[in-house]
């Protein structure tokens, strides 16, 4: 298989994973019947918010002929991820660093929820990115306070779960507080999971579910990540009023939660695509966490073992990796994983890989056309060196984007309008002629 065919196969695997998690595929079977009386209030947030709102709106207005005058709602998504809707208002707000647009939209979301009655159905649709899109700082905190803390958490290598634990205790909407606002209305939450383990209290920072995390746990995370806590943050995290609602709170009595797509579903679709192409699909894990370069080294070893077995195999994994920033370059966990994997494989024949975030962007500056990841193969290092590039130096500077940009090996799908975390696929093609260029 030549390099172009290998890349096409890997891109097909990535696209199959994304398609399985797109709201057009996964959302309709889970949408509840519209309310017999009262309003249908749709509140959406995250990278899939635009597409989830679009699908839900079509479901109710077209299929159920639900009266337009009884449908209202707001969808908040990251820039470039908006979708056309008829009634539900679409707002683009900052991600991964929150901005004023997110605050303004969140205040309106809280007002809509607070006005819900027992006759209304509040349909909450959220996905990865909701934590940054729905931003309402706790009393005494400013947007700049939360922006600065979010940057420090991202730079520290904190996991998404750790980041969300802290943010929930500095918010007026996260950690179950939206459900409290919406009571006594019926609340139905449909979520696309982007977190390892699919914990409802972590996905989107759990705005409609009880929260087992605590203020004390938030302080412990900041201490372990060696983040200096500004006075305003410290005061908020020592204020009992900012503790999140626990299980058993009456607001959750009329609230249900369901995951409509998860990383495992995307990996299953990728595995099916691999088998259709004649490869054995081996899933290394659906919720792998850790430093991108460490995971890459482990996967390089797994690929070499597959070569020795002389069996055409696609090694698949999901989860969300982290990068501890030591340099000044550009890139995200998927691109850093790909660069570290290429270095670890050192030109090993018959191995190629793709690593990409299913939301369409990996790190970057928050632009919708940022790369989602990168491709590698046995020629990656030799082509780099022919251009005078030192792969190890780029890795040390966390400049995986700069590296793959020069090679033309970036994965740039644009907004996918969904998010079920990373998709890594390492292809071991030991068939006759596989190494031909």
pLDDT at 224 over 80: yes
pLDDT of 435 > 80? The answer is no
pLDDT at 437 over 50: no
pLDDT tens digits for 12-63?
999 999 999 999 999 999 999 999 999 999 999 999 999 999 999 999 999 9
User: pTM for the complete prediction?
Assistant: 0.89
Q: Residue 373: which residues within 8 A CB-CB, separation 6 or more?
A: 332, 334, 335, 338, 354, 355, 356, 357, 362, 410, 411, 422
Question: Does residue 429 carry a pLDDT above 50?
Answer: yes
Beta-bridge partners for 422: 357
Q: Taking residues 281-309, report their average pLDDT.
A: 95
Is 70 exceeded by the pLDDT of residue 284? yes
Burial class of 351 by CB neighbour count within 10 A (0 to 12, 13 to 18, 19+): buried
Domain 23-261 in the same topology as domain 3-18+264-428: no
Q: Give residue 433's pLDDT.
A: 53
- Per-residue pLDDT averaged across 218-223, rounded? 97
Report which of 109, 123, 221 is spatially closest to residue 170, judged by C-alpha positions: 221
The domain over range 23-261 is classified in CATH as 3.40.50.10180: yes
Average pLDDT over residues 210-215: 92
Percent of the chain, pLDDT > 70?
A: 98
Kindly list the domain boundaries of the chain, sorted by start residue: 3-18+264-428, 23-261
Which whole number is the average pLDDT over 147-166?
Answer: 86
In the predicted model, is pLDDT for residue 167 greater than 50? yes
pLDDT in tens, 379-398: 999 999 999 999 999 999 99
- Average pLDDT for the chain: 94
Share of the chain above pLDDT 90, in %: 83
Summarize the confidence of residues 127-137 as an average pLDDT.
Answer: 91
What pLDDT does 364 receive? 73
What distances in angstroms separate CA 100 from CA 83, 95, 139, one per listed residue? 21, 11, 16
Q: How far is CA 87 from CA 69, 134, 277, in A?
A: 9, 20, 43
Q: Is residue 202's pLDDT more than 90?
A: no
Look at 189-198, 325-334, 361-370 and tell me which has the smallest mean pLDDT.
361-370
pLDDT tens sequence across 58-96: 999 999 999 999 999 999 999 999 999 999 999 999 887
* Structure-token pair, residue 55: 């699908």
CB 21 within 8 A of CB 418: yes
Place of tokens 């696209």: 15
Nearest Cα residue to 49 out of 17, 73, 16, 32: 73
Structure token digits, residue 308: 């020795």
Query: Is the pLDDT score of 319 beyond 80?
Result: yes
What would be the CATH architecture of the domain defined by 3-18+264-428?
A: 3-Layer(aba) Sandwich (3.40)
pLDDT at residue 431, as a whole number: 80
The confidence band for 436, taking pLDDT boundaries of 50, 70 and 90, is very low
């Amino acid at each position: 298989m030549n390099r172009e065919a290998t890349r096409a196969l890997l891109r097909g695997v990535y696209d199959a994973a994304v398609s399985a998690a797109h709201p057009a595929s996964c959302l309709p079977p889970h949408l509840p019947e519209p309310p017999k009386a009262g309003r249908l209030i749709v509140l959406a947030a995250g990278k899939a918010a635009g597409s989830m709102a679009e699908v839900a709106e079509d479901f109710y207005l077209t299929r159920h002929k639900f009266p337009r005058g009884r449908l209202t709602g707001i969808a908040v998504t990251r820039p470039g991820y908006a979708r056309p809707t008829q009634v539900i208002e679409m707002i683009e707000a900052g991600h991964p660093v929150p901005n004023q647009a997110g605050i303004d939209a969140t205040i309106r979301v809280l007002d809509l929820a607070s006005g819900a009655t027992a006759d209304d159905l509040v349909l909450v649709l959220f996905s990865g990115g909701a934590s940054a899109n729905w931003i309402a700082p706790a009393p005494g905190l400013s947007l700049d306070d939360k922006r600065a803390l979010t940057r420090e958490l991202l730079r520290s290598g904190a996991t998404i779960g750790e980041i969300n634990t802290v943010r929930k205790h500095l918010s007026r909407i996260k950690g179950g507080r939206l459900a409290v606002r919406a009571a006594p209305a019926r609340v139905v939450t449909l979520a696309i999971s982007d977190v390892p383990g699919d914990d409802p209290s972590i996905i989107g920072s759990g705005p409609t579910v009880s929260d087992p995390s605590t203020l004390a746990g938030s302080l412990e995370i900041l201490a372990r990540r060696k983040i200096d806590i500004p006075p305003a943050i410290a005061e908020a995290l020592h204020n009992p009023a900012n503790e999140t609602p626990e299980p058993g709170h009456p607001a959750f009595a009329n609230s249900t939660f369901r995951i409509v797509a998860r990383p495992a579903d995307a990996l299953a679709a990728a595995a099916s695509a691999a088998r259709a192409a004649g490869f054995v699909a081996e899933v290394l894990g659906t919720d792998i966490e850790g430093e991108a370069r460490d995971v890459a080294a482990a996967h390089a070893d797994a690929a070499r073992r597959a070569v020795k077995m002389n069996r055409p195999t696609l090694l698949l994994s999901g989860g969300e990796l982290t990068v501890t920033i030591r340099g000044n370059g550009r890139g995200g966990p998927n691109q850093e994983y790909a660069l570290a994997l290429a270095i670890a494989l050192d030109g090993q024949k018959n191995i190629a890989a793709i690593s990409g975030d299913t939301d369409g962007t990996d790190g970057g500056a928050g632009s919708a056309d940022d790369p989602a990841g990168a491709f590698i193969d046995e020629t990656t290092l030799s082509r780099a060196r022919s251009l005078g590039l030192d792969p190890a130096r780029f890795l040390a500077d966390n400049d995986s984007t700069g590296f793959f940009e020069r090679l033309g090996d970036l994965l740039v799908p644009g907004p996918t309008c969904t998010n079920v975390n990373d998709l890594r696929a390492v292809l071991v093609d030991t068939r006759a002629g596989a190494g031909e260029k």
